Amino acid sequence: MNKKVVLHTALAGLMSFSLLAPSVSAHDTLDDISIEKGSHEADLNEIPMLDGAKNLDHWNEAAAVPLKEYNGKKNSTADVYAYKGFAYLGTHTSGGGNGGVRVFDLQDPSNPVEVSRFAEEIPGTWQEKVIVKTVNTPYFKGDLAVVSIQQLNRDNPLSKGGFLLYDVSDPYEPERLGFWELDKRVPGTHELYLTVQGNKPLVLTANPYADYYTHGEQKDFALVDVSDPANPNTLYEFDPRILEEVPDDFNGYHWESPDGKTRPVFNHSTMTDENGQTAFLSFWDLGTIMLDISNPNDVEYLGRTDFAPDVQGSAHSSAIAKGGNVLIETREVYAPSREGYEESYGYTRIFDIKDKKDPKLLSTFKTDLVDNIEDGVTFANTVHDPKVQGNTLYLSHYAGGVRAVDITDPSEPVEIGKYVPEQAYIWGVFVDRNYILASDMGEGLKVLLKNNGQK
């Protein structure tokens, strides 16, 4: 079968469609499967906390900074990113959303200063993910930020999802450049990634349930040329139906898989390798899908990871190691006891992807949390996001804090440290220069420094 992917050019301009389904945010309940934490508004202090050391070896907590309150509202953090000495924190749904992206000056990492806020202007939305890179095109030269926008409630006529583009060349004064807008029926863009091929900046979007709610008119993954940030141009969308194992009558969410199970399928996260040649799509129970995007106008499907019949899929996000030859796949399993599956929270899988058409599982990495099955505990024990620096894998682990894993030998990963502050609920982790950043949903920005605080 020819696996060449069909090119789609349908997404352009502003779209307005009537709502056809009940309101959900990107991680709310769809039928009988509850997806992640978007709908959870529990007091973070009520989440069971896990024992653990506060320090990683040779690291110490140098700063813990809460987010500023605006109009008396306290927002919680989502993911974290760093660029040119500034931290960019997305925000979650608490406080009614619209917390925007918070920018921290890290000139003194032990004393981060929140200096600006942006991307909060679309009513009834939340801003999880932000990526910043320097671009140089005929239309824009400078530091470009892309921000995911998700609706809290699709019944709100003022809300809309997609991603915003900002000029953050001066992080103290971000300037809006443009907006890529999704069909109103789609909750929004959940996670995204910005890569640059030569002088062409491309945004990869994960738009969970787009296929489902638009009946195939839009897809869960889109590749967007943002060379002109004021006029984003969609080049391509991925359709799971091109896979032999996905039937043509796939409804955009429920997949009758070859193992006889009905599995959820939606795109949760996206990223690329360092040079932007290969895209990695975290497609939940379809695994991590790999696409050759070296020619964005002629995208080719390469391969994907898969799961044993007794393993919940839940491919949540990914990272690349060993020069692009190793794939780290985290699985956010929040319901550890489901009939027909192993009893376990989400853990990490590590693959050899030298041949992307035939990824080979090298190992699985489990913390001391994932087999701790307790009634009423949700999310606290599952892994969340991965980041890699050299031969060290860093994992954000909610109430399990940050875990550091030696992957010098990817077939034998070894935990070498953990950071679990009081009241921890770590969403994201990012490694930059000589420090580790962690976004703590309840506590704000955490900064870990090497060598007892030496920069």
- Residue range 83-106, pLDDT digits in tens: 999 999 999 999 999 999 999 999
| SS3 state at 46 | helix
Q: Spell out a b/e string for 205-225, using b for 16 or more CB atoms within 10 Å of the CB, else e.
A: bbbbbbbbbbeeebbbbbbbb
Q: Are residues 203 and 194 in contact, defined by beta-carbon separation less than 8 angstroms?
A: yes
Alpha carbon 345 to its chain centroid, in Å, reads: 18
Q: Predicted confidence band at 442 (pLDDT cuts at 50, 70, 90)?
A: confident
Q: Which residue has the tokens 């994201």?
A: 428
Largest CA distance in the chain: 58
Percentage above 70 pLDDT, the chain:
86
What is the model's pLDDT at position 374?
Answer: 75
Q: Are residues 293 and 299 in contact, defined by beta-carbon separation less than 8 angstroms?
A: yes
Flag whether pLDDT at 241 surpasses 60. yes
Among 3.40.50.920, 3.40.50.2300, 2.40.30.260, 2.130.10.10, name the CATH number for the domain at 42-453.
Answer: 2.130.10.10
- Residue range 329-360, pLDDT digits in tens: 999 998 899 999 999 999 999 999 999 999 99
- What does DSSP assign to residue 95? G
CB atoms near residue 452 (< 10 Å): 10
Q: Are residues 122 and 159 in contact, defined by beta-carbon separation less than 8 angstroms?
A: yes
Measured in degrees and rounded to the nearest 5, phi and psi for residue 96 equal 85, 15
CB atoms near residue 14 (< 10 Å): 7
- Residue range 52-73, pLDDT digits in tens: 556 677 789 999 999 999 999 9
Q: Predicted confidence band at 377 (pLDDT cuts at 50, 70, 90)?
A: low
| SS3 state at 242 | helix
